Amino acid sequence: MVEERRGSVSEPKLDLDPATVRRARSLARKVGRPIVELAQAHTTVSVERAMLRLAGLGGADADGTPWVNRLADAVRADVGLEHGLALPVWDALVRGEAEDLETLAQKASAGSARFRLPNGKDATRAATASRRSVNQGILRIDGRRRERERLVKRIGDAPRQPWIYLIVATGDIHEDIPQAQQAAREGADVIAVIRSTGQSLLDYVPEGATREGFAGTYATQENFRLMRAALDESSKELGRYVRLTNYASGLCMPEIAALAGLERLDMMLNDSMYGILFRDINPVRTFVDQRFSRQVHARAGIIINTGEDNYLTTDDAVEAAHTVTTSQLLNEYFAKEAGLQDWQLGLGHAFEIDPDLKDSFRMELAHALLARELFPDAPLKWMPPTRHMTGDVFRGYLLDGFFNLAGALTGQGILLVGMMTEAVVTPWISDRDLALQNVRYVLDAAGALHEDFRPAPDGFIATRARQVLGESIDLLDRIVEHDHGLLDAIADGTFGLMKRPADAGRGLEGVAEKSSTYYNPATEILEGEQ
């Protein structure tokens, strides 16, 4: 079963001091715990809308605005967000304002429904009714997880790790499907449908199948359903289960996580700080949304992919290597606190050192092996070169070959296919075919080379790895000393050179501190399983 897959490293090779590793994780807990407490004390419009989606509310009005948004806005206008939506919404249903959620949303949108915060027996009845409805959605997610496990057992799984991960996205879901199926035939184990540019900044989830996007395809429930069904056909054809990835990030992270669980996606990009740093989304909004979304992923058996590789596109990959390790340790803490297990932690890192730098490949090996040994049971997601791709496709193809070799040498779990036309044009299908040939050749030729690769105990690779870990511990120490810990560090530009204060950024208006009467049945159910 998928849960039993583990990291590929066979034994430690860097001679890392166990006490040093324990100190790093202890500091990550100290940094992360106040953020968890902050998340527990707040809710957001997207968390509340995700709860409505789990209760079965979908669809949109004639203008394309989802009913969950219409209903959430109406309730918020009447009673505020700080109590949650569950009690006012199901109180209205119990009182007979409407016979179901969609009708209630329609009436609320038209201004013909009013909401109150119930108390006493009315509150108890509303809470019971809301939990019953939301539990049906979570049971559906449970069923989709069991379905995945049955399919992996019956059809078969990818024969080895690393899983070969390839991006497909044309903007048109009906064009994405045949391209994804062909990529699977060519050897891809994971298909990622990259999102349309800017979707992370939409405070709603588009509805239905979409045929127009910008450098990607919109993440919608119908698009998830169509691609999952197509890849199920390919899985049966190929005799191995082909996994599907999308993005649970941005302003609708909790909702997209819920939709992914309902439609049996297998992986989701879900990083604790990516939206803050690279999309200027408010830090509090992001941390609240991230925790809820990861609770959903944990329940759904979804592997998360984190985004540490992005730091190295804005900062120097040598000087900032320790920020990647620091973020990995924080992502691990946040993920496990939310209920995710080691096999679900696709922690990110990247092959982004300037190839003109002397010993660049040895440093790449040091960084990759450090990640592998710090997280031995996690299917690490290893990202190909992008920053130093110049348009010279021959040089780019060689760099991708070195990237693939580094992955084979260090036992990575998820290998994103690099394109020689990266940062030049949107890859053609032929570019993908050549890139997949590169991956297959290197992995087949290397075999289990990671078992034979043992850097000298006090050599360049081991020394560099220990240096990066030490710098990461120093950084965590400094973050602990900040008055407001991680929030101050993010505001100071510690990660990726991006300065993001906690009282600014997109989506701040959608955050509310929970009142003493706050209730969310989805949170209650998900946390009850931890």
Is 336 among the residues known to form the active site? no
CB of 257 closer than 8 Å to CB of 50: yes
Region for residue 351 given its phi and psi (left: phi exceeds 0; alpha: psi -120 to 50; beta: otherwise): beta
- 392 Cβ partners below 8 Å, 6+ apart? none
Cβ neighbour number for residue 508 with a 10 Å cutoff? 15
CB of 210 closer than 8 Å to CB of 225: no
User: 361-381: b or e for each residue (b if 16 or more CB lie within 10 Å)?
Assistant: bebbbbbbbbbbbbbbebbbb
DSSP-assigned letter for residue 509: G
- Taking the C-alpha atoms of residue 68 and residue 59, their distance in angstroms, rounded to an integer, is 8
Q: How far is CA 389 from CA 197, 232, 343, in A?
A: 21, 34, 32
Q: Which residues pair with 191 in a beta bridge?
A: 166, 244
CB of 201 closer than 8 Å to CB of 209: no
Q: Which residues pair with 168 in a beta bridge?
A: 193
Q: How far is CA 142 from CA 225, 246, 262, 353, 388, in A?
A: 16, 19, 9, 42, 43
- Alpha helices by DSSP H, listed for 156-200, are 173-185
Q: Kindly name the residue from 247, 274, 311, 397 that is annotated as catalytic.
A: 274
- Taking the C-alpha atoms of residue 331 and residue 272, their distance in angstroms, rounded to an integer, is 6
Radius of gyration of the chain (CA): 23
Q: Is the peptide bond before 162 cis (omega within 30 degrees of 0)?
A: yes
Is 121 among the residues known to form the active site? no
DSSP-based three-state secondary structure for 315: coil
Amino acid identity, residue 378?
Answer: A
Is 392 among the residues known to form the active site? no
Tokens of 439: 């991956």
Q: How far is CA 321 from CA 259, 264, 329, 353, in A?
A: 34, 34, 13, 10
Q: Which residues pair with 269 in a beta bridge?
A: 247, 305
Q: Kindly name the residue from 271, 289, 309, 315 that is annotated as catalytic.
A: 309
DSSP-based three-state secondary structure for 5: coil
Provide the Cα torsion 255, 256, 257, 258; round to 10°.
50
Instruction: Tell me which residue of 514, 474, 489 sits closest to 39, measured CA to CA.
Output: 514
User: 410-431: b or e for each residue (b if 16 or more CB lie within 10 Å)?
Assistant: bbbbbbbbbbbbbeeeebeeeb
Q: Which residues are catalytic?
A: 274, 309, 381
